[in-house]
Amino acid sequence: MSVLELRRRESQGEPSGWDTAVHPVLQRVYAARGVLRPEGVAHRLQHLLPPQSLGGLEAATELLAEAIRDDWAILIAGDYDCDGATGTAVAVRGLRMLGAKRVAYAVPNRFVHGYGLTPALVDSLQPRPQLIVTVDNGVASVAGVARARELGMRVIVTDHHLPGEQLPGCDAMVNPNLAGDGFPSKALAGVGVMFYLLLALRARLYPGDRPDRQGREEPIRGRTPEKGRPDLSTLLDLVALGTVADLVPLDFNNRVLVDAGLRRIRNGHACAGIAALIECGKRSAATLCASDLGFAVGPRLNAAGRLEDMQLGVECLLTDDIAQARRYAGELDAINRERRDLQASMVAEAEAMTAGLSDIDAVGVALYEPSWHAGVVGLVASKLKERLHRPVIAFAPATLEECGDGSPLLDSSAQEVRINRSDTEHLRGSGRSIPGFHLRDALAMIDARQPGLIERFGGHAMAAGLSLRTADFPRFAAAFDEAARELIAPERLQAALYTDGELPAGSLSLQLALQLRSAGPWGQAFPEPLFDNVFECANWKPMGEGHWRLGLRDPRDGSMHDAVMFNVGSVSPPLRLRAAYELVVNDWQGRESPRLLLRHIEPA
């Protein structure tokens, strides 16, 4: 059934399968996202995909069960972003719940060890563990895994990134994106992969779990407490945070995970660290939504990995002491403010560099500034991509090990490159793309045409990383622009804002706003509902620095609507405007009312 068919049935009064309490606008929103029946939004844990089809679980759980039985020293090797930090916390907490007594963790420092399980990270481990379990990394850590095995350690890799031509020689690997893996959802974040490994391990350790109606083990709901089966659902707030923050597509399975985590948080059951970060972000746990995780909580964790050491973030997520969690969260908040200032400065410099872009007509944009911070260039690329609507790669001087083995960058020369902290002869770049331009494939094409130009590269369609020699930056910038010109159709360079259409007169109500807020979780590939209508600006006033608060009149029925718009500068709104907006709930001082959050306006 198409969206047009759904609308035809609505107009003719035919049943759609939805409960009458579900607002027709919400039904239309769901249909536009491919959800045509109520079961498509039945985000209950019993609908979670079972673990059995995820490859590598048999070998991984067998090794983990042996490690728990024989009291091995287990080390979780995480990553320095929010997905890696939450995945590390899930692994440590989950393995302890399942009986592991000696579980530690290590998160590489971006500026000391590089990304992932590098030889440098392995050599720094003291005392040496008997088993290393990676989280959100490892599929490209060929040399790091080899070094660990050389030192007598066993290694389980859990990851979700795309593999390169060579896989590490680990004891077991769990990654839904390996070639031939049968797991139906390829969108799991690193924290989701780890959560599934724990589900499978619990099934091995507690073989008496009763099956569900389809003969599968129930994925979450366990035995009664007196039978001692650990309740892994207590980890779902962490799973939700990492999944949303990593911007993986919110397919049905991920929406089940995120929805369950959000329900735990709203019910007051978040771990102390997440609760403290929510407080720092000035959000209400009782009404928290996925976008709050993405914009208020996740960045505070990510900032530690970008500027300092993600160990602070992991400690915040592991502590059960709320006072300690608040101290950690306060430190993370301070680092995030520093990150915002640094990012604003770098973005301003990047915008100055591209002020004459229309004159030079660059399609693929590469930027480099010697003073830029390697931990923030990805954010600069993201901001510039949004403004220019073309692929952007921003570069900064590389630091120790950033071009060494185990980074997210795939080695095109099969040679290991080590860089000293003071070395300015190499650059690290982070890129963001636009729909229709597969960034990693474009880098592969450049690498094939000019071997040796790119030292290492890797990533996905919309984001990628690479390393270069500083002297080769001009040549790469020209090659990247050439590839973009060749692969991007001209119409793709025109920014397009897609909405869910107009809202009928009289429907901009609190009832609909409340349903839209509770109907998610909204996020990547399942976007927040966005509507557009023509309004008359009855009144407006500045709000803070560069923001508006407006009173908008609907010319169809004369109704007035409260609206806000952020980051508009010092300009004034037009008297008559077409606005793309979200219909949200304003709960200022405990009073709920509908509000229009304007995302884009133009004169009407």
Domains (range + CATH), the chain? 1-39 (no CATH), 51-329 (3.90.1640.30), 354-493 (3.10.310.30), 498-603 (2.40.50.460)
Scanning the structure block, which residue is given the tokens 């399980």? 117
| pLDDT cut 90: percent of the chain above it | 71
The confidence band for 223, taking pLDDT boundaries of 50, 70 and 90, is very low
Q: Read off φ and ψ for residue 63, nearest 5 degrees.
A: -70, -40
pLDDT score of 10 more than 80:
no
Provide the b/e sequence for 128-148 (b: ≥16 CB within 10 Å): ebbbbbbbbbbbbbbbbbbbb
Q: How far is CA 534 from CA 44, 503, 537, in A?
A: 38, 10, 10
504: Cβ contacts below 8 Å, ≥ 6 apart: 25
Tens digit of pLDDT for each residue in 150-179?
Answer: 999 999 999 999 888 899 999 999 999 999
Does the structure show a pLDDT above 70 at 357? no
Confidence of residue 405 (pLDDT cuts 50, 70, 90): very low
What crossing angle do the helices spanning 190-205 and 252-266 adopt, rounded to 10°? 80
Q: Cβ neighbours of residue 256 under 8 Å, at least 6 residues apart? A: 43, 44, 45, 47, 48
d(CA 223, CA 435) in angstroms, rounded, equals 46
Question: What is the average pLDDT value for the chain, to the nearest integer?
Answer: 88
Task: Assess whether pLDDT exceeds 80 at residue 74.
Answer: yes
Strands ordered across the beta sheet of 365-368: 365-368, 392-397, 426-432, 463-469, 456-459, 410-411
Positive or negative, the CA dihedral 533, 557, 597, 525 is: negative
Name the nearest CA neighbour of 563 among 603, 541, 595. Answer: 595
What are the start-end ranges of the E strands in 54-177? 74-77, 103-106, 131-135, 154-158, 172-174
Report the relative pairing of strands 576-586 and 410-411 from DSSP bridges.
unpaired
Write the pLDDT tens digit of every residue in 562-584: 999 998 988 899 999 999 999 99
Give me the residue label for tokens 């709920």. Answer: 592
Give the tens place of pLDDT for each residue, 528-544: 999 999 999 999 999 98
Please report the pLDDT score of residue 422 as a whole number. Answer: 41
- What was the pLDDT predicted at 157? 98
Q: What is the pLDDT of residue 377?
A: 93
Which carries the bigger pLDDT value, residue 115 or residue 326?
326
339 or 460: which leads in pLDDT: 339
Closest-CA residue to 310 (of 94, 116, 74, 93): 116
